[in-house]
Structure formats: C-alpha cells, structure tokens
Structure 1
Amino acid sequence: MTQRMTGFIGRRGLGAAGASLALAASTSPTRAQARTELRIGSQVEPTSIDPHFANVDTNNAMALHFFTPLVIRSETLQPQPGLATSWRMVDETTWEFKLREGVRFHDGSELTAEDVAFSIRRAPAVPGSPASLSVYLRQITGIEVVDRHTIRLRTAEIFPLMPIFMGTFVILSRRAAEGVTTEEFNAGRGMVGTGPYRFTGWQRGERLTMERFADYWGPAPEMERVTFRFIPNPAARLSALLAGDVDMIDFVPITSMDAVARRNDLRLSRGVTNRLIYLHVEHERADAPFVTDRAGRPFAGRGPLQDARVRRALSMAIDRRAIAARIMEGASEPTSQIMPAGAIGHVPDLPVAPYDPVGARRLLAEAGYADGFAITMQVPRNRYVNDVRAMEAIAQMLTRIGLEVRLETVPVQTFFDRASRREFSLFMIGFGVVTGEPSSFMSLVMQTFDAQARVGAGNRGRYSNTEFDRLLVQALRTPDDAAREELLRQATRIAMADQAIIPLHHQVHLWAMRSDLDHVARTDEYTLAQDVRRRG
C-alpha cells in the first residue's frame, strides 16, 4: 500500500482496541487450564523455525524455547552460564568453554562438544539466509574438540567479546540436524534441542505449539503446554485477551495501556528496551530506488542521499520529541545514537538532534536541492510499536522541508527480503542490540560491506568510513572494558556525524496478561513462555 502524504497526523483517540476495553468482558480459563497451559497472542510470526536461518529477533526468541546457547543472557542482557558452565582465555587467541555435563536433547541423546562444533560451523552458513549469524561467528578461525565436554575456539586476533557473542545463537543436535534444510526444519524435522520446551507443531499464519520437556537441565518452566497464536492486528490481539482466548499478549497498543492498567483482571508489564528504531539510508547508488527529481527523473551521477548535508537535513526535519509524545504516547525514548542511556557505548554528550526545519531547508539548498526531490519511503506494517503511524508523521515532516514524499507499507513477510535485496532507499527498521553493547550492530549495519570477510551483511545502504572501521576493529581487539567502550563511543560519534543511519527512538515494550500471571520484562523484548509464572 502506497500513500502520498499531505498533512500532519495528530494525536488520535483510543481507536478500536482501546474503545473495546469498556465493552469487552474477560473470560477466565478453567482452573486446570490456568495451571497447565499458557496461550500467548503474538504480533509477529517467525519467518522460520530453523534457529540458524535468520538473525531476526522473532526467530531468535522462538528458538530459545527449544534450544539453548552456550551462554545465556539475563533479562538485562548480562551473560550467564548456559550449556557452558565456565569459560576462560587460554591465551590471547584461544577461548575454552567447559560444557555442562548430563544435558539431554529432546530425543534423549547427550550433549557433547561435537554438537557445539557442528552448530558453530552451521550457524553462519545456512543457504539463503536474509540476515546471517556470521556477524557473531566470523572471528572464529579454528574449532578444537578437546574432550566430550570441552571445546576451544581460536581467533586470528584477540577477541574479548567471545562469551557475549556465544549467547547470540543456539546449539543443535548434530545427530538430528546434520543435513537438514531450512524447509525441513520448518516442517518439524531437526527440532531437537536442549531447551525447556519440545516442539509439537506449527500451523503457519495461525499458531505454534510446544510442551514442557521433562528432562530439561535448568529450572522447569511452570506451564506444561504453550500455544503462540499469531495475531498481527493490535485490536484483534487485545480483543483476544479480553475475550479470554489468550492469556497474554505482546506489543500492547499504546493507546490502550492506561485503560488496561485500570482493569482489575489484567496487568501490564513494561520496560525500556535496547531496540533502536531508525531510518536506513542509501549511501552508494546515485540511481537509488524510489528517489527522483520532482519530474520523476532519476538522478545521474550523485544523488541526494549520497550527500551528508541532505542526510543531516532529513534528521533535522524530524521532531522526535513530538513523535514520542503524540504518536508513541510516552512509549519511546527519543535518540540520536545507537545505545540508550545507561548502556555500554552510550555517548553522554551526544544529544537528541534538535528539530530544525528551517536549518534543514538551508542544508538542502546548500547541497543543490532547494526545490527538494521525490522519494518513496517504506515501513513494515505491525512489526514495531506504532510503526506506520510514526512513519506517517515523519513523512509529513519531510514534506515541510520541500520533499515530495510517498509512503509504502510492506507486509512483514516480505519486508526483510526486499530490504536485503536493496529494493529500498529510505526505510524504517529496528534492531535489538542483544549483546548489550554496540559493536554487533556496528559490524552488521555500518561496517564497510565485505562479502568475503563477512562484515556489513546488514549494511544495506553501503555506508563506508575507513576511520569508523578502524575504531570498530580496534575496539573488538581491546581487552580492557573501559578502553573498548571509549573506542566504541568514538566510532559512534563518527557514524552519527555522517548520518550513517538516522536514529529515531528506543522502544518501550508493553505486555498485558491475566492478573494472576507474572512476567519478566526483558531488555531485548523477547516474549518467552519460561519467563511467565503464576502469582502468589
């Protein structure tokens, strides 16, 4: 769906979802169901249940029900023992991981270092991946199975972040998964892990089911059976909770959060997240898709998005604080950098870009675009909180500095594939910085693209700055935490001055559930059934 923008989108009322709160009645499940079953209404369906197919948050979160990484990330993204009980640097280029003994896969076989070695080799090499896990694994140059429960990973140079990166992908059973394609995974074959739940079925577009694994090595989850129902429409998802068809939902419509909080039979769980919502910008192609002069002619030579002044003008034209207050209704933190305040790599003296449409017009004129240009921007529908509404507002703001803007809403099912094929030039996207520090995002999204070196796989705009690359590589080789953070801050300053991307805000995530349930709000926004407990 493409629409031309002609006027600012102001604050709306509660809408269908919010209005229904006053009318709908919650239907409680039976006592037996409440004790044994959890039904989650989820906004986004995984694109695949092959846990190595795509480095996409929805896929990664679903995988953690069935599989386990070597290192587990807490709700605040702190590394904790998972399948590995300990790790150490043997020397500057060798990490050793000791595996937990007695861990069983869902088929009864025992976890060994061979399974870990197999998984490390498979994860970055899945054919057809739209977002490879290689960003977390490319530093590994050698794998040594020392014994059944010890594995060593070698790198060409010192790599202090190895334990953190080992929490970004899961371990598969070599016996069950070797030779299994992504298509076969999606049909259920190979879904043999060490996680708290066993896979029982996936009806695409409808639901995914699982049951508790009796021999799970960790604390047993309370719920015996879990069903994820995929309900992309926010109003329908909330209505399902109110009707008692589901027990919990994610991505609560922010226009409804106050009304939900006032109900005695429901409760909210919320938290500021590490998910950065930003505009991805084309840097390389003069004939960038969807960018023309006002007469519809493509640009020859150098196009507008290749000029840093134009990119800076776009950023200055966006009133982030108005979006936070009027569109996001307080469920976002405006930003002009990668990491939120308090996180590793946040730059304290890098403020939110001021809203300055007059200055933006001046920069456009300096760059030779006093009359503006035409552009179509893309946004995934119902992937992020109020994504379309926020992008509508941004489009209107850009019209105020002289651009002719159209907006295309793209179904989530096709958005990421199209973005990976570089079919867009200016589009909204989000990234959950699951490592809790910015190097992974920088390596994936902003480091100079190099297919052979497997860097910049998500750098769809082909941004490139040699000094940024140098600082990032140096940071990844620096063992001292404080020194590494300062290098990452320097790299952040360079990328933000270049407008490598145009940051918008960090998302605040909202869950709603029956009042007799408790939930752990995670910084990475993952909705995990094992994080849900009965109250009291």
Structure 2
Amino acid sequence: MWTYHIRDDVEFHKGFGQMTVEDVVFSHRQVADSDKHARSANAKEMYFAENGSQTTPDDFTWVVDTGVPFSEIPMLELMGTPRAVGAWVVSKKQWDQEGEEEANFNTAATGPWEIDEAETGSFWRMKAVENHWRKTPAFAELIFMEIPEESARIAGFKTGNLDTFVMALDTISEVETVKGAVLMQVPNAVQAGLNFYGQLYVPARDGGGESWPAYNPDNPWVSPDSDITSPEWATARTVRLAMSLAIDRQAIVDNLLLGFGRPITLKDWMGFEDRLPSPEETWPYDPDRAKALLAEAGFPDGFTVTLTPAIRGAPSEVEACEAVAQYWDAIGINVNFQNVPYGTYRPTAVARTYEGMSCHNVGARLAPIQGMASFLNSGNFSWGSEHPITEDLIPRAQKSVLTADRIAREDEIAKFYIEEVFGETGLYVVDNVWPVGPKIAPWGDFVKQGDLRQINGFEYITPR
C-alpha cells in the first residue's frame, strides 16, 4: 500500500489552477497507457493493477494498493525528475480544454519556468514564475536554443550570446580562452554500455507464440537455442565475448573522454561497481584473444554487423561508438556504422526489429534494477535481449520489498549477464563538464542527479 500526499500550494502555468490528485492520477494513467514510454508496463502494473486498487479520499491524497508487493525503486523512478522515464504531472484541465497537441507543445506545467514562446527545432523562451513554491529564478527569462553545430555553440559562448551550452569535451581548451569563464564538473553523470540486439529468446508479446522480428539466429551473436548449456549457446557466447574483449575501454576514457571517466563492467551499475568484478578483470583488452575466439566460433574471417550510437546528448557518444567500430574492424568484423537521429533508431528498438548493436548512454540509477525493465518482454523500449532466466529474476528483484533481497537478485542478474555475456557489456562512466560564462555563477550544488546528459537546475543560476 502506497499513500501519496500531494502539496496543496502548487499552481499550473497559464491559469489552469491548482494541481490536485486528479492531475496526478491522470498523468500516471497517461504513462501506463503509453505505447512509447519506457516504463509504461511498470506504471500499469504498479498503479493500475487488475488485482490492486486506488482511491482518492480527498483532493490531495492518492492511496494505491499495488496488489502485490513492489520495491521502492521502480516507484521512485517514476517520481524522480529530471529523468527521461519520470511521470511528469500535467494539467488534466488543459488537456480536456485545449487538446493533446496543444498540451504537448505549450504545456501548462508546475516548474519555476513557464513556456512563453517556442519554435520546434529552433528555440524555447521561458519566463520566470514569481513566488514559485520551490524557487523563484534570479533571472526574468531563460532561452533554450537548438544549435546542432558545436562550432556555432562555441562561437555563441565566446561572443557572450550563450551563458552555457552542452559541450563536447574536446572543446574545453576553447572555453578556457574566454575571460572569466569557468568549468562546472558533475561527477558520475552518465554511464555507457554496448547492447547486443536480437537475443530475444522469449516469444513476442501478444504475438501468438511467434518470435520478435529481430530474433535472427543467423546472426553470429544470437543462439538458435536458449539453453545456456547447449553448444549453440556456447558458440554465440564466444562471439559476444570476443566482441567485448576487442574494446580498449581505458583508451576511450583517456583519449576521447580526456580522462573525465573510468571503464565500467556493466551499464546501469554506476555507483554500485564495488559489487561487481572490475572491468579490467571482466573484459581485459585483448585483440589477439578476441581474434582467436572468433576463429574458435567458426568466424575466422569475421562477419558483418550494424552498430548504432543512441544519440541523446552525452559527451563524445558518437566518437566513442566510432572507436568501438574501429576496434571490431581490427579483429576482422565488418561494421556498418549507422549514424542516425535517436528518433529514427528508437522505434526499431521499441518494435524489436533492430538486429545490430547499440552504444547507449544513460543517467544515474537509483539501483541497478531500475534499468533492467528494458530487458523485459513486457517493456516498451527494449535493450534487444530477453531470456527466460531474466524474465524470472528481474520481476523478482522489482518486487523485493527488503533491500537485502533486491540486492541479492540484482547480483544474481549481473552474474548471469557477465558469465553469459548476455544483453550488454559496460563501456565507461563519464563526468559531465559544462562551461559557465562570465555573467553567471556555477550552480553545481543544485544540479540534480537524474538524467545528466542535459543541463538542469536553471532556477538556481545567479548573476556572477
């Protein structure tokens, strides 16, 4: 049983009145019914379970009976902001009066900045909300600009037209030439991993027993047999191991991340790495052994694979993925490097039609189990790997009320991922470094650990 007590002093922008439990339930229902939100299955199972219940005894209280116990981690994940998988609370009244399209574009939200004017792909102009319940900004106006070219962002910063921007790490030397500019470093901002798609050993959801479209055992890293003791599984595992050992993670950290990071054994485990064997022990860089393993698996001349960076604004995400492609090329694997917008790649992950590999950057996790929902058959967004073993272990971890039980299940899942080289391997953790112009003061103490591919905490920025 979960009881949510909602603040009674929160007003929606644009005159849509006080936020009440009706808006909170409506917003969570939108997530649960979504065919795109990465945690819709979790939201439906937790808040709107068939064997559960929910009541709203007053305008500011929501009582949810999940029917079965749930760990606090998937619950808190939906509540946390800024987070890509958060359940953002929006105005039901705006949705009913103005329709979905207007509510999505000109949203009546509850934050310290209100949308004033916007042009898709160009800019968003925000105005400060006076006497905001959390923090009234020190500036009257905030403007976000969409500037794809790094050179143009640097020019804007040098001329004083930009106070800060999402920066590539190799731009640091340029920023340091700006008088009065400083760098704001946020440690443990992003973690990157490599996903092996097509390992879909569970029948497609609502597919009448048929496999997902991306399940193709002709791909060398995919087994035609889900039995982890079978020779076929062992061969596919050998291929995945070779591909992981071919990558020099430390060189990526040193050369592309300029030392602002470290290798990691598994994505989703940033901050919990002491529970895992080290990346140097698990995935030692060994191209000669990688070549030998490919030959042992029957691919002495390599094979062809598609590799796609999930482009979402993390430091050096494309360059690091290109480095992975070069490491694979060095052991004889022909890489089709697919550099496409995230909006092009993501639908293929949701539909389970993508058969290649992806380099994916994610933010900090409340616990490792948080990111594992995307390895479940029930999830919308998919990391491209599902197995009967993880279909058993992951829900058990999600529903572990006792912390010790959840940790034990998480460690069991990690052991399976590492021993079977299943689903993903870790690449690196990277700190985010943002430039701060001479007119504003750093606000690092107010940056929220959530989704740190982008800057947040703008309401706490003050004049220098």
Q: CA deviation at 1:137?
A: 4.8
CA distance in 1, matches of 2:164, 2:307: 33
The CA deviation string for residues 398-445 of structure 1, in whole angstroms up to 9 with x for no partner, is 112121223221134423234434335112222224x4212121012x
TM-aligned CA distance change 1:382 to 1:338, over 3 Å: closer
What does residue 153 of structure 1 align with? 64
CA distance in 2, matches of 1:317, 1:197: 47
CA distance in 2, matches of 1:408, 1:486: 38
Q: Is the 8 A contact 1:278 1:504 kept in 2?
A: yes
CA distance in 2, matches of 1:233, 1:417: 25
Indicate yes or no: 2:188 matched with 1:273.
yes
Q: Is the 8 A contact 2:150 2:168 kept in 1?
A: yes
What does residue 442 of structure 2 align with? 518
What does residue 206 of structure 2 align with? none
Q: Secondary structure at the match of 2:338?
A: strand
Indicate yes or no: 2:390 matched with 1:474.
no
CA distance in 2, matches of 1:159, 1:431: 23
Q: Flag the structure with higher strand content.
A: 1
The CA deviation string for residues 152-199 of structure 1, in whole angstroms up to 9 with x for no partner, is 1111211131345322222122211248665333442xx112211211
1:97-496 pair list within 5 angstroms: 97-106=4-13, 107=15, 109-126=17-34, 129=36, 131=38, 133-140=40-47, 141=49, 142-161=53-72, 162-167=75-80, 168-178=86-96, 182-188=100-106, 191-250=107-166, 252-261=167-176, 263-284=178-199, 302-306=218-222, 307-340=236-269, 343-344=271-272, 347-352=275-280, 353-380=283-310, 383-421=313-351, 422-433=353-364, 435-444=365-374, 446-447=375-376, 449=377, 455-466=378-389, 468-496=390-418
TM-aligned CA distance change 1:388 to 1:194, over 3 Å: closer
CA distance in 1, matches of 2:424, 2:401: 28
The CA deviation string for residues 248-300 of structure 1, in whole angstroms up to 9 with x for no partner, is 112x22112245346442111112235322222123479xxxxxxxxxxxx98
The CA deviation string for residues 54-104 of structure 1, in whole angstroms up to 9 with x for no partner, is xxxxxxxxxxxxxxxxxxxxxxxxxxxxxxxxxxxxxxxx10111112322
TM-aligned CA distance change 1:381 to 1:338, over 3 Å: closer
CA distance in 2, matches of 1:497, 1:208: 47
The CA deviation string for residues 341-378 of structure 1, in whole angstroms up to 9 with x for no partner, is 5x257524343411011221222122221221122322
Q: Secondary structure at the match of 1:409?
A: coil
Q: Secondary structure at the match of 1:410?
A: coil
Q: Secondary structure at the match of 2:384?
A: coil
CA distance in 2, matches of 1:103, 1:381: 35
Q: Secondary structure at the match of 1:232?
A: coil
TM-aligned CA distance change 1:390 to 1:246, over 3 Å: same
Comparing 371-380 and 304-313, the one that deviates more? 371-380
Q: CA deviation at 1:129?
A: 2.4
Q: Is the 8 A contact 1:248 1:512 kept in 2?
A: yes
What does residue 501 of structure 1 align with? 424
TM-aligned CA distance change 1:474 to 1:179, over 3 Å: farther
1:69-84 pair list within 5 angstroms: none
Q: Is the 8 A contact 1:206 1:229 kept in 2?
A: yes
One-letter amino acid matched to 1:111: M
One-letter amino acid matched to 1:146: P
RMSD: 2.7
CA distance in 2, matches of 1:174, 1:361: 58
Q: CA deviation at 1:229?
A: 0.3
1:35-50 pair list within 5 angstroms: none
TM-aligned CA distance change 1:475 to 1:379, over 3 Å: closer
TM-score normalised per structure 1: 0.72
The CA deviation string for residues 510-532 of structure 1, in whole angstroms up to 9 with x for no partner, is 11121332222443314225354
Q: Secondary structure at the match of 1:109?
A: coil
Seq. identity, %: 23
How many residue pairs align between the two structures? 418
Q: Secondary structure at the match of 1:507?
A: strand
The CA deviation string for residues 96-130 of structure 1, in whole angstroms up to 9 with x for no partner, is 1111123222215122212211111112223x526
CA distance in 1, matches of 2:115, 2:139: 14
Q: CA deviation at 1:215?
A: 4.6
Structure 2 residues without counterparts, runs of 5 or longer: 81-85, 202-214, 223-235
Structure 1 residues without counterparts, runs of 5 or longer: 1-93, 287-298, 450-454
Q: Flag the structure with higher helix content.
A: 2
Q: Secondary structure at the match of 1:139?
A: helix
TM-aligned CA distance change 1:330 to 1:246, over 3 Å: same
